Copies of this chain bind each other. A is one copy, B any other.
């Protein structure tokens, strides 16, 4: 990292002061442990960020954002991570927002962008469908025109935080064509519309983040369609690269590394520390080197994104490595905890609160993290699908 300019130093100082003043200690503790904050905690935090216009920290001034430089955006992420504040919710600011801004009509922009800027509206993403997995083009949820509306029938799955969402951006099929990518339409749907049912999916760590969303004759105004009918795949693809980079979550990885470091430096009963055990040392070094490579690669990909508008297929490899590193850090920390990683309270999706032999602070969500991070190499396009993409798009195989 080069020396910061005075302006950038001032930016970081300002941000640090803001976080120190506004971050609820409970929320900080949850984030530091890698756990799941509550909706109320997140909304309070987002409300504060919005007062400084930092919620949409990646947006240019032209689009109503703070117009941070790429370096400042990087510093923002880094500072947020260092101080254990939650990362800004990408569903609204990196997905719904940009697609509405790029492809929405003036009315749609006027309706939705203010809520995103101010963090008053929660979004969810309706892409995946049962049985389709990483094959996103296999959209079966139908939308049939009926006057000025569409009637939507079908089912979405793996919908993160649908139970918190006010709006969903979703893919529907408006016609059957030979090429499956055709005939897909991109809609914005108010989650309070009659006919929508949200059913929780409990993950293997016990946490409820995912949902199934059922659409039973749901009436959606055609004015909620983004762009042209049948061109939805184009808009969806625009977001896919963002999503892949989003899954990588460097702040999350840095938190995970902090927990790993804590796990191997805590003194054991006999005063020894795992950091003096070469078995763990070697693994820690390899993880740190992988993080260095990943950070450099993410930075290159973001540069491309800024220069060329969209990242190339290399982002698939970044997604693979980022998600693997995140998994391996959780596994490493779990290994360091040994027996302390085993007691588990499924209903809390966290370690058991133990009185006789308390689990160390940083350890309470390590096992949950190990369990739920298995999804990282599956969602947003599985590792296997990413490799197929690279093989075709870069290697020409």
Report which A residues bind B (CB closer than 8 A).
Answer: 277-279, 282
Contact = CB atoms under 8 A, between A and B. Distances in A.
Task: Kindly report how many copies of this chain are found in the complex they form together.
Answer: 2
6 contacts: A277-B278, A278-B278, A278-B279, A278-B282, A279-B282, A282-B282
Contacts of A282: 278-279, 282
A283 B277 CA distance: 15
A283 to B, nearest CB: 10
A277 B279 CA distance: 11
A366 to B, nearest CB: 24
Nearest to A282: B279
A332 to B, nearest CB: 15
Contacts of A279: 278, 282
Contacts of A277: 278
A279 B278 CA distance: 7
Nearest to A281: B278
A168 B282 CA distance: 51
A79 to B, nearest CB: 36
A85 to B, nearest CB: 38
A277 B277 CA distance: 11
Nearest to A277: B278
A199 to B, nearest CB: 34
A17 to B, nearest CB: 45
A2 B113 CA distance: 78
A159 B16 CA distance: 71
A333 to B, nearest CB: 20
Contacts of A278: 277-279, 282
A-B pairs with lowest CB-CB distance, top 6: A278-B278, A278-B279, A279-B282, A278-B282, A282-B282, A277-B278
A282 B279 CA distance: 8
A391 to B, nearest CB: 16
Nearest to A278: B278
A348 B279 CA distance: 39
A230 to B, nearest CB: 37
A81 to B, nearest CB: 31
A282 B282 CA distance: 11
A277 B282 CA distance: 12
A289 to B, nearest CB: 15
A270 to B, nearest CB: 18
A5 to B, nearest CB: 43
A278 B282 CA distance: 10
A220 B202 CA distance: 73
A103 B87 CA distance: 73
A12 to B, nearest CB: 39
A282 B277 CA distance: 12
A278 B285 CA distance: 14
A282 to B, nearest CB: 7
A318 B363 CA distance: 41
A278 B277 CA distance: 9
A86 B277 CA distance: 41
A277 to B, nearest CB: 8
A277 B278 CA distance: 9
A384 to B, nearest CB: 15
